[in-house]
Structure 1
Amino acid sequence: MMFRRTNRSIRICVEHRFAKASCFAKPILATTVWIASVVCISGLAMTAETDKIFRAGAFAIDITPEKFPVSSSGSMTHRVAKQAHDPLHARCLVLDNGQTSIALVTCDSCMIPREIYDSAKQIASEATGIATDHILCSATHTHTAVSVGHTFQSLVEEDYIPFLVERIAEGIIQAHSQLEPARIGWAVGNNPNQVFNRRWFLRPGVEIDDPFDSGTDRVRMNPSANSRSLLQPAGPVDPEVPVVAVQALDGRPIAMWANYSLHYVGGVPPESLSADYFGEFARQFTKMILANQSKPPFVAAMTNGTSGDINNINFFEGRTSQPPFEQIRLVANDVAASAAVAYQRVQFENWVPLEMRETEIELGVRRPDTEEVARAKQLLADAGDGPRNDRRLIYAGETLDLAEYPPTVKVKLQAIRIGGLAIVSSPCETFVETGLAIKKSSPFKPTFTIELANGYNGYLPTPEQHALGGYETWRAKSSYLSVDAEPKIRETLLQLLDELNTSRPQSTVAK
């Protein structure tokens, strides 16, 4: 129909302009213009098809500190690392479909404040043309990385921060420089063996204490495994292992991004840094698909899903104690095998729609009241100087810190569409219930969440889990958002997904 309308309008214009021409000239001119119009429109169609070239590039950049000792995060007390057992990386993937360009980054870190990510994104955007709101950066949540944010008594390694910013930006730039024609696909694996809800109901009569002496907790985090006091878990698990893969047109693997809702594994000596199972997963998966010799190097990454209440301890039966790093190896190998099975089911496509949305919402902060502040001050005064190892004293310090927080904070949320797949982000240690609810309600199948993304705003229990109490709800720098934060974040992410489902693609590729 478009050709016919165009030809008719061209004929009318030609016939009007050349009305005085001979009868012989009219059809010649009309025919000539018609041919020209067809050639022009065909050229536009060819240009549109030419624009539909999917490209991908990936790069894993080393973010291991260059000097030791360094402060290490992931503990309630200050901890110092003197060495790195294995390298830490920022793994970067850039996707470009000719209309939109996005970047995904996951860093071997416990948590990274928003300011660090924002600085790295700005540098990368200026160098590559990728819009800052089309870059998703996240932390894996290894508990043995360099401390770059204030949590409990960890000291921030200030000298490391400029290095980290530079490395994240450089990794994105390198991945962008390696863009090449590619194909993309995805599949969903499953591994229920390594995920267990760590919040438990205990039998009636078993006392559950808390550092505020409130006596209101109804669940305990990390109870003794296979104990007679155990009743049942206070929440579900998510065993899915989604994988997103890109390969060159000749079949050479470029990258694979996986997702699993497992907090971390641990078993690392206190004086060592380690990427935990996230780094070992990448190494194991690369071996499993025989991609060790790929040039440019193949990049595998494991992102953290919704694991705020999930860990690797089998509380039902207990488990055998392992030497350092062995449990990491076992978990990584098992989950990598599940990802490799899913990888074999990936159906690669030459081009897919690529869109991204970002928004910012304001959430309340649970600040202590006057009485709570007075109690905290008294506890610390009575204890005197010295290290704070007692939980009551640790949380007294947290109470005084939270008293200085603003009444609200702004958090950044993102949603990505890759063909029929969707990814959303959360800047929190998000409970598995939230991830499952998003997967169920999303218009895209599959959908998964990358947590600890674009900043750090502590734990995100659902209102129902808040009512049960427990460690993840105890007010601290690691858990301070208002009780209604989770419904607001979940609702906003689902709104972004609905927008992606109904919107028309908008070009965000730098010209």
Structure 2
Amino acid sequence: MPTPTEPARLRVGAAKSDITPSDLSGLHPMGRPFERVHDPIHLRALVADDGAAEIALISLDLVEAGDMTDVRRRIEDELGIPSDHIVITATHTHSAPRIGDVSPGALAHAGSKESLEYTETIYEAMLDALRSARAARRPATIGVGTGIADVNVNREVFADGRWILGFDQDGPSDKAVRVVRFDGLDGRPIAILVNYAVHPTVVLGTGELSADLAGVACRHVEEYFDDEAVCLWTPGTIGDQAPRIDLGLPFGAAPDDRQAARAYRAMEAQGLMIGAEAVRVAEGISRTSPAARIRAGQLTIELPCKPGENVMETMRQQDTETVPLRLSLLRFGDVALAGVSGEVVTEIGERLRAASPLAHTLLVSIANDRIGYIADDARFDRPVHSVRGCPVVRGHAESAIVDGILALLEASNP
């Protein structure tokens, strides 16, 4: 194993598998049941090591992944990857199932009997994908870059005397497309990681299973690189961000064929914009390094819990005094994936990046759990959606996230 004074030698492998359910019954946690499959959904996995430490990252085309503690322990038992070196996230497409248990105090869609059975299928798929990714590991380099895509927009709007979900052109919105490229020594990409802040809700309401715009973006990246690379989507500060164009109907309303067709054209167009920008950024990354030392860690903080207000009927919340905030870190040299177990709003991401000592800090929402929205402290002056759906009492989550991630970064230093 390398010592702290010796250069790390990065190895990376990636894998992708189809997780489209064969039976859609009981699997849609939001709105009307799934009637058919529009496009397949996938699991994408990355395994990396530097000779001393090994990490795993899994991205799922699902609306949410609940408490992933049990499966991370199972991965450790069966594959030997430490559970605190594993991050599992969901793209947050609203036209796909959820998996996992709901943590005490979390505001999440309650899992059906069918979704819990589907969860076990996905856990098996995770293990298989990680085995494949590990078997495919080879010497690699890492590079990072940032672009811009104007696909997202702030969705918290004051109209008719109340706060609603809408379109706020002037509201805070992080439009950065952050890209991490892992190449083999031949210069060909093994994996492309994309981090962007938007709710994949373009086709919510069509009654069809879909990976939405995140799936389109990943498909474009993978096709561009001749399907030799795996594209992993990680959700950024999505808590207050909507796509610019969606189905455009009231929640629960069924579209006609023309409306659905327009929504899918919007899904393809917006996903292509993000995917094409990710490709442009990836192609422009000229400096890559084989010497990125890997570090990882996790931290769980019990925060005072508050009940949700005016949330969807399908949301469930156990009456508890505290709710677990799960923080995670996957670090490759000066590149950090900072995971938070909820849908984080824009301002918290901005504060974290400003405070981080590293050149590249990517906030990943819905990492290893989804407890609800995570609103910044100032937002509590307005009864907006991200506050009504936040399970944490004001004054606790924002500092816990920033201070907790900084502590994990400090602990990861040689």
What is the TM-score with the length of structure 2 in the denominator? Answer: 0.87
Question: Is it true that 1:220 corresponds to 2:164 in the alignment?
Answer: yes
Corresponding residue number in structure 2 for 1:482: 393
Corresponding residue number in structure 1 for 2:131: 173
One of 400, 404, 409 as aligned partner of 1:492: 404
> Structure 1 471/351 Cα, relative in aligned 2: closer, same or farther at 3 Å?
same
**How far did 1:207 drift?**
2.0
> Structure 1 324/190 Cα, relative in aligned 2: closer, same or farther at 3 Å?
closer
SS of alignment partner, residue 338 of structure 1: helix
One of 145, 161, 169 as aligned partner of 1:207: 161
> Structure 1 118/45 Cα, relative in aligned 2: closer, same or farther at 3 Å?
closer
SS of alignment partner, residue 237 of structure 1: coil
Q: How does 1:422-461 map to 2 (within 5 A)?
A: 422-461=336-375
> Structure 1 341/154 Cα, relative in aligned 2: closer, same or farther at 3 Å?
same
Corresponding residue number in structure 2 for 1:326: 265
Question: Is it true that 1:127 corresponds to 2:78 in the alignment?
Answer: yes
One of 332, 337, 350 as aligned partner of 2:276: 337
- Percent identity, aligned pairs only, is 26
Corresponding residue number in structure 2 for 1:160: 118
> Structure 1 85/309 Cα, relative in aligned 2: closer, same or farther at 3 Å?
same
Question: Is it true that 1:308 corresponds to 2:308 in the alignment?
Answer: no
Please state which structure has a larger fraction of its residues in helix.
1
Larger radius of gyration: 1
Question: Is it true that 1:418 corresponds to 2:332 in the alignment?
Answer: yes
Q: How does 1:93-492 map to 2 (within 5 A)?
A: 93-114=46-67, 117-148=68-99, 151=108, 155=112, 157-191=115-149, 193-202=150-159, 206-208=160-162, 219-222=163-166, 233=170, 235-268=171-204, 270-288=206-224, 290-292=225-227, 294=228, 298-313=229-244, 323-346=262-285, 347-367=287-307, 402=317, 404-474=318-388, 478-483=389-394, 484-492=396-404
- How many pairs are equivalent? 392
SS of alignment partner, residue 103 of structure 1: strand
> Structure 1 495/53 Cα, relative in aligned 2: closer, same or farther at 3 Å?
closer
Checking the alignment, whether the CA contact within 8 Å between 1:70 and 1:82 is kept in structure 2 is no
Corresponding residue number in structure 2 for 1:377: none
Letter in 1 for 2:327: L
Checking the alignment, whether the CA contact within 8 Å between 2:214 and 2:233 is kept in structure 1 is yes
Give me the whole-angstrom Cα distance separating, in 2, the residues matched to 1:279 and 1:61. 13
Give me the whole-angstrom Cα distance separating, in 2, the residues matched to 1:144 and 1:159. 18
SS of alignment partner, residue 454 of structure 1: coil
**How far did 1:417 drift?**
1.9
Give me the whole-angstrom Cα distance separating, in 2, the residues matched to 1:336 and 1:424. 22
Q: Which has the higher contact order (CA 8 A, sep 6+)?
A: 2
Unaligned runs of 5+ in 2: 103-107, 247-257
**How far did 1:154 drift?**
7.0
**How far did 1:427 drift?**
0.6
SS of alignment partner, residue 262 of structure 2: coil
What is the TM-score with the length of structure 1 in the denominator? Answer: 0.71
Letter in 2 for 1:498: E
Letter in 1 for 2:53: T
Question: Is it true that 1:91 corresponds to 2:44 in the alignment?
Answer: yes
**How far did 1:68 drift?**
3.0
Unaligned runs of 5+ in 1: 1-43, 209-218, 373-390, 505-511
Give me the whole-angstrom Cα distance separating, in 2, the residues matched to 1:492 and 1:350. 29
SS of alignment partner, residue 64 of structure 2: coil
**How far did 1:69 drift?**
2.5
**How far did 1:261 drift?**
0.7
**How far did 1:201 drift?**
3.8
**How far did 1:341 drift?**
1.6
Give me the whole-angstrom Cα distance separating, in 1, the residues matched to 2:319 and 2:2. 56
Give me the whole-angstrom Cα distance separating, in 2, the residues matched to 1:152 and 1:175. 31
- RMSD across aligned C-alpha pairs, in angstroms? 2.7
